[in-house]
C-alpha cells in the first residue's frame, strides 16, 4: 500500500480491553480487540501480525507507533510500551503517546453537540476514577484520580453548565450524581479513539524519546508478595 498519508500502528491496552489497530491518516483501517487481560502480552503480537496481513501493509510502511500512555492498567501499559519501543527501535520510526483521557475528550468534542464541560473517566475500581476536566475544549484540570460521591463536580454543575462524563468510569457515577445537567456517555477506550490525535501529533512532530519514555500510571501498582509455601 503506497500512500502519502502516514500509516500508524496503534496500541491501546490501558484498560481491560486490548485494542490494536492500523490507521491511515485519521481513518482507522482495521482493529482487533480482546478482553483477556492476563494474555495481553500474547494477543498484542498476534493482533499486529494479523492486522498487517489483513490490511496489506508491510512493517516497513508503518510511519509511527501510537501508544496509549495511560493512566490505567500497570501491566497493560508496560506490555504495550515494551512492544512499541521494540518496533520503533527496529524500524527507526517515531513513538507517539496519547493519553486515553485525551482520546475520550477528543471523541466527545468532535460530536455534533457537546456539553460545556467534558470529563473523561477511566475506571480505577470501586468508586474511584482517573479523570481530567475540559471546558469549551480547553483543558482546565490535568489528570487526577478521585473517589466519586454525591457532590463531585458540583462546582461545575452549580454554575449552570452541562457536564458530559465519558468513558468506562462514567457510567457508575450516574447512580450518585443526580442532576439534570449531568450526562454520562459510556465509551470504551480503543485504537479508534487515538487516530485523530495521532495524525495531529505526527504532523506537529510531537514524538516521545524512545529511550526515556514511560507510561503515565498515576497510581503505584498494587503488587503483593506471594505467601510462602508451608
Residue ranges of domains in the chain, CATH in brackets: 7-99+189-203 (3.30.420.40), 101-185 (3.30.420.40)
> In terms of C-beta density within 10 A (0-12 exposed, 13-18 middle, 19 or more buried), how is residue 206 classed?
middle
96 strand-pairing partners: 66
End-to-end CA distance of the chain: 59
Among residues 149, 116, 150, 144, the alpha carbon closest in space to that of 131 is found at 144
pLDDT of residue 39: 65
pLDDT band at 218 (very low <50, low <70, confident <90, very high): low
Task: Answer yes or no: is pLDDT of 227 > 80.
Answer: no
Q: Which has the higher per-residue pLDDT, 3 or 141?
A: 141
pTM over 0.75: yes
User: ω into residue 71 within 30 of 0, thus cis?
Assistant: yes
pLDDT band at 223 (very low <50, low <70, confident <90, very high): very low
Cell numbers 492486522 correspond to: 51
**Cβ burial 102-133 (10 Å sphere, 16+ → b, else e):** bbbbbbbeeeeebbebbbbbbbbeebbbbbbb
Cell numbers 494474555 correspond to: 39
Task: Answer yes or no: is pLDDT of 147 > 90.
Answer: yes
Lowest mean pLDDT among 20-34, 158-172, 216-230: 216-230
pLDDT band at 221 (very low <50, low <70, confident <90, very high): low
Task: Answer yes or no: is pLDDT of 205 > 50.
Answer: yes
Average pLDDT along the chain: 90
Q: Which has the higher per-residue pLDDT, 33 or 4?
A: 33
Contact 14, 168 (CB under 8 A): no
Task: Answer yes or no: is pLDDT of 21 > 60.
Answer: yes
- Indicate if the alpha-carbon torsion angle 57, 60, 62, 67 is positive or negative: positive
Task: Answer yes or no: is pLDDT of 113 > 60.
Answer: yes
Amino acid at each position: 500500500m503506497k500512500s502519502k498519508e502516514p500509516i500508524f500502528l496503534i496500541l491501546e491496552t490501558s484498560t481491560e480491553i486490548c485494542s490494536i489497530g492500523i490507521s491511515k491518516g485519521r481513518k482507522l483501517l482495521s482493529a482487533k480487540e480482546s478482553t483477556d487481560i492476563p494474555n495481553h502480552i500474547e494477543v498484542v503480537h498476534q493482533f499486529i501480525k494479523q492486522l498487517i496481513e489483513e490490511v496489506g501493509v508491510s512493517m516497513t510502511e508503518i510511519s509511527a507507533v501510537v501508544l496509549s500512555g495511560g493512566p490505567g492498567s500497570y501491566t497493560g501499559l508496560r506490555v504495550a510500551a515494551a512492544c512499541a519501543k521494540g518496533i520503533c527501535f527496529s524500524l527507526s520510526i517515531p513513538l507517539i503517546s496519547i493519553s486515553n483521557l485525551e482520546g475520550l475528550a477528543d471523541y466527545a468534542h468532535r460530536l455534533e453537540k457537546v456539553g460545556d464541560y467534558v470529563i473523561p473517566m477511566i475506571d480505577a475500581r470501586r468508586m474511584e476514577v482517573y479523570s481530567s476536566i475540559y471546558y469549551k475544549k480547553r483543558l482546565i484540570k490535568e489528570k487526577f484520580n478521585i473517589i466519586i460521591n454525591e457532590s463531585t463536580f458540583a462546582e461545575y454543575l452549580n454554575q449552570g453548565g452541562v457536564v458530559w462524563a465519558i468513558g468506562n468510569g462514567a457510567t457508575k457515577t450516574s447512580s450518585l450524581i443526580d442532576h439534570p445537567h449531568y450526562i454520562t456517555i459510556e465509551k470504551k477506550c480503543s485504537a479508534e479513539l487515538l487516530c485523530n490525535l495521532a495524525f495531529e501529533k505526527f504532523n506537529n512532530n510531537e514524538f516521545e524519546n524512545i529511550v526515556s519514555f514511560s507510561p503515565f500510571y498515576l497510581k503505584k501498582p498494587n503488587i503483593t508478595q506471594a505467601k510462602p509455601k508451608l
